[in-house]
Structure 1
Amino acid sequence: MQIRQLGAGDYDDRMALSQFAFQMRLTEEQLELRRKSYRPEEEWGAFDERGELLSALSILPLETWLQGRLLRMGGVAGVATWPEARRQGCVSKLLLHALTVMKREGQTVSMLHPFSFGFYRRYGYEMTIERKKYTIETRQLPPRKDTPGFVKRMAERDTAVLDAIYSAYASRYNGNILRTPSWWNERVFRKEGMFAVYYREDRTPEGYVFYEIANGLMTLHEMAYVSDTAYTALWTFVANHDSMISEVTWMAPVDDSLPFLLPDPRIRQEIVPYFMTRIVDAQAFVKEYAWEPDAENRENEETVLLRLTDEHAPWNEGEFRLVWSAAGEGRLERIEAGEAASRAADEDFISCDIQGLAAMLAGGRRPTWLAAVGRIAGPGERLRVLERRIPNRTAYLVDFF
């Protein structure tokens, strides 16, 4: 078996595999349209001795917001295998190769949408992003409120206006991605629907809703806003469709406040597991991560001992000192054999696998909670130090890849 990057000449084989694996049928026109945006440098495949494609995946070079900072991220997508090649280790070899590629490219973190959470946990990924699905009957929509400014439907999609709102909104969460112009055009604008934008009285745009109406159902593809007034105005706009719809659906952040603001909060709500995250390079990730500063300790560094396990990325495995400056800059220092710290008692270390580290740093799971459910272990005092250094921010992802 050979693992290699795909070339321009592999497009037809890659699309044949993708159509089969994801049970879709594209027209010749659609295939030619996708050929124009095909990026072989993002595609990797497992080939047999005859050079035939067995399995493939994409590594999308993205950036994701974590604690308000943009980190380079490898988005794993389009994982597919022909049935005759399954259970032969093709995907396993591709995923392990992808880790090496992402580390080399400086992508310290990776994300994917799993077909099976259990399968990808075996390769170091952990669930970090859940979404709250609302299904709201027309009679349950928020009451219409007068707000300053106005909401107007976009006659033509203005990427600059939308992206400014989206970026301000998305950066408030852990997990959202930075959208490039090509992402807007190839991913977002490909969906059916309309945009409506909220403008302040001075005509400054502060929010938008991207929605579609079909067969009496209003689907909110996304809602982004930078003020409470914008949020209220957009929901009033949605409620103004009450004569033509029977219900509204939206995949909201898990901390969204809408039910609390409703006269009758007994709307249908479902927490839906969505994306998984993996830390590719723990030492580089810790250096880039925005830790909480220590306001009471302006001069001295603070340290916990960390025993990290990672079956598939040996560069992450071992004993480390996790050190923070008073300003909140972190570093992960490997403890070499023979050092005094390596002779510390087991109970001095926080023991954690790579999945637990992702759950803490990208998924909003607090260290003391993870310890209570048996996912990490360590002295309570050290766990509380670690917890104090991790900013508490909700994980959310608007997009799909």
Structure 2
Amino acid sequence: MVEYRPVPDATQAIFHEYVGYAFNPEDGPPEYDPDDVPDVMKLGGARGLYGDDAPPDADPLCVCRHYWFDTQVRGAVHPTPGLSMVASPPEHRRDGHVRRMLAASLEEYRERGARFSVLWPFRYRFYRRYGWDTCNQRATYECDPEALSFAANAIGDAGAYRKIETDDYERLVPVYESHAADYALSIDRDADWWRHRIFFGWEKDPFGYAWERDDEVRGYLLYDIDGDWSDRTMRVRELAFVDREAYLALLAFCYNHDSQVSTVKLGAPADSSLLDLAPDPDEIDREVETGPMVRIVDVADALASLSYPEIDARVTIAVEDEFVDWNDGVFALDAADGAATCRRADADPDARIDVAALAQLAVGYRSAPALEWAGRLDADAETTAALDRLFPETPVYLRDGF
């Protein structure tokens, strides 16, 4: 038998040793220095799996960290813990310990009323077998700064740039919230997250600038610059804006670095309009890759809590969840007037779907027809159409790393 429990403060050294060796094995197990541990690794809660009757100061078999996020899904805020820093030492691997810890984590999430869980995977297939799946794609644009000169020409002398520091984060919140409102799974950031994660970098902290018009912040970007004098890259970690003018102003800011950097790299949602705005889009390289992953914690609670279109519909869904038994079964979803109930049902299902695909459908990343085409949804045409009306596709972009 094993026990899942918080990692006590007295044994934080072993937590950081496990995590350091898991993600940076080339450095070997690190020496623990509490002064070197970044604040972002102290947020949330550390958990470990321990041997049966292990004393409080025992070394865990494996560890993880939970961040207690709220995220926006279909216009409402939902508890969505972030799972991070899953690690075990070599001597405890391949014994099923991580699997048991993940199952216990989901039980804790459920007890806390969480509806979804998100993570950034080291390997997608590892977490897919436990019910998480991709929730959004992300794009990276790379170009010579000159390719962004069109933005400077478009805005002229409008507005002004102002350097921003960590203590200025409150002025950025309205811009972030305006931009994030367009995307499901955007995190409802608190002050600690702004201070200790958004303005933090694992190798160097980012620089920040805001673009203001009429003394109001309309957009901002956080970035760093790497390389030597002959080949520097400006990497934009976060870029948020309230309108097209502010977006152009931020692109113009990147162009203004043409004497200092040879390359600009911009991270953005996969639906970014940069190539549509650029007069020479062939001068901008675009790479799209899969991003974070999402899971439903409790099917009945999650589906009952979502907002729905103003339609009446009833669908009985057989959900396959081989990892946690409370999600494995048939559920009746009844929607009316923009809300719904969802409960277990003793009935023949209209549709069959695995829990990971259901999470993608619920948050808006993939439509019912797309899942049916991919072999992840088994339903007749009428049921697929009903699910498509209940769960229309919507932009999803979880931008925060953790």
Query: With structure 2 as the length reference, what TM-score do the two structures score?
Result: 0.90
Counterpart among 302, 307, 318 of residue 313 in structure 2: 302
Query: Per-residue deviation at 1:36?
Result: 6.8
Stretch moving more, 73-82 or 157-166: 157-166
- Residue 147 of structure 1 contacts residue 229 of structure 1 at CA under 8 Å; is this kept in 2? no
Once residues 238 and 142 of structure 2 are traced to their aligned partners in structure 1, the CA distance between those partners, rounded to angstroms, is 14
Where does residue 289 of structure 2 map in the other structure? 272
Once residues 70 and 294 of structure 2 are traced to their aligned partners in structure 1, the CA distance between those partners, rounded to angstroms, is 13
- Residue 109 of structure 1 contacts residue 277 of structure 1 at CA under 8 Å; is this kept in 2? yes
Counterpart among 262, 269, 272 of residue 256 in structure 1: 272
Query: Per-residue deviation at 1:48?
Result: 3.3
Residue 352 in structure 1 maps to residue 353 in structure 2: yes
Where does residue 83 of structure 1 map in the other structure? 90
- Residue 164 of structure 2 contacts residue 209 of structure 2 at CA under 8 Å; is this kept in 1? no
Once residues 35 and 28 of structure 1 are traced to their aligned partners in structure 2, the CA distance between those partners, rounded to angstroms, is 15
Once residues 399 and 43 of structure 1 are traced to their aligned partners in structure 2, the CA distance between those partners, rounded to angstroms, is 19
Once residues 38 and 220 of structure 1 are traced to their aligned partners in structure 2, the CA distance between those partners, rounded to angstroms, is 23
| Paired AA for residue 287 in structure 1 | A
Residues matched between the structures, number: 384
Q: 1:168 to 1:148 in 2, by over 3 A?
A: farther
Where does residue 53 of structure 1 map in the other structure? 60
Query: Per-residue deviation at 1:290?
Result: 2.0
| Paired AA for residue 265 in structure 2 | T
Stretch moving more, 101-110 or 354-363: 354-363
Q: Alignment identity in percent?
A: 28
| Paired AA for residue 354 in structure 2 | D
Once residues 93 and 22 of structure 2 are traced to their aligned partners in structure 1, the CA distance between those partners, rounded to angstroms, is 12
Where does residue 311 of structure 1 map in the other structure? 322
Query: Per-residue deviation at 1:38?
Result: 6.3
Where does residue 176 of structure 1 map in the other structure? 186
- Residue 13 of structure 2 contacts residue 32 of structure 2 at CA under 8 Å; is this kept in 1? no
Q: 1:363 to 1:121 in 2, by over 3 A?
A: farther
Residue 146 in structure 1 maps to residue 155 in structure 2: yes
Residue 228 in structure 1 maps to residue 238 in structure 2: no
| Deviations 1:352-381 (CA, angstroms, capped at 9, x unpaired) | 110110111225211011101111110111
Residue 160 in structure 1 maps to residue 170 in structure 2: yes
Where does residue 206 of structure 2 map in the other structure? 193
Query: Per-residue deviation at 1:47?
Result: 2.2
Where does residue 373 of structure 2 map in the other structure? 372
Counterpart among 320, 324, 333 of residue 322 in structure 1: 333
Query: Per-residue deviation at 1:156?
Result: 3.5
Where does residue 97 of structure 1 map in the other structure? 104
Q: 1:213 to 1:36 in 2, by over 3 A?
A: closer
| Paired AA for residue 303 in structure 1 | R
Once residues 40 and 142 of structure 1 are traced to their aligned partners in structure 2, the CA distance between those partners, rounded to angstroms, is 40
Pairwise CA RMSD of aligned residues?
2.2
Where does residue 3 of structure 2 map in the other structure? 2
Query: Per-residue deviation at 1:41?
Result: 7.2
Query: With structure 1 as the length reference, what TM-score do the two structures score?
Result: 0.90
Residue 290 in structure 1 maps to residue 303 in structure 2: no
Once residues 363 and 242 of structure 1 are traced to their aligned partners in structure 2, the CA distance between those partners, rounded to angstroms, is 39
Q: Secondary structure at the match of 2:81?
A: strand
Query: Per-residue deviation at 1:385?
Result: 1.4
Once residues 181 and 168 of structure 1 are traced to their aligned partners in structure 2, the CA distance between those partners, rounded to angstroms, is 17
Where does residue 16 of structure 1 map in the other structure? 17
Once residues 157 and 149 of structure 2 are traced to their aligned partners in structure 1, the CA distance between those partners, rounded to angstroms, is 17
| Paired AA for residue 282 in structure 1 | V
Once residues 237 and 7 of structure 1 are traced to their aligned partners in structure 2, the CA distance between those partners, rounded to angstroms, is 46
- Residue 149 of structure 1 contacts residue 198 of structure 1 at CA under 8 Å; is this kept in 2? no
Once residues 32 and 323 of structure 2 are traced to their aligned partners in structure 1, the CA distance between those partners, rounded to angstroms, is 41
Once residues 17 and 127 of structure 1 are traced to their aligned partners in structure 2, the CA distance between those partners, rounded to angstroms, is 26
Once residues 156 and 350 of structure 1 are traced to their aligned partners in structure 2, the CA distance between those partners, rounded to angstroms, is 51
| Paired AA for residue 318 in structure 1 | G
| Deviations 1:110-135 (CA, angstroms, capped at 9, x unpaired) | 01111111111111111112101111
| Paired AA for residue 35 in structure 2 | E
Query: Per-residue deviation at 1:351?
Result: 0.7
- Residue 67 of structure 1 contacts residue 391 of structure 1 at CA under 8 Å; is this kept in 2? no
Q: 1:27 to 1:167 in 2, by over 3 A?
A: farther
Q: 1:27 to 1:53 in 2, by over 3 A?
A: closer
Where does residue 345 of structure 2 map in the other structure? 335
Query: Per-residue deviation at 1:174?
Result: 1.3
Q: Secondary structure at the match of 1:269?
A: strand
| Paired AA for residue 10 in structure 2 | G
Stretch moving more, 315-324 or 76-85: 315-324
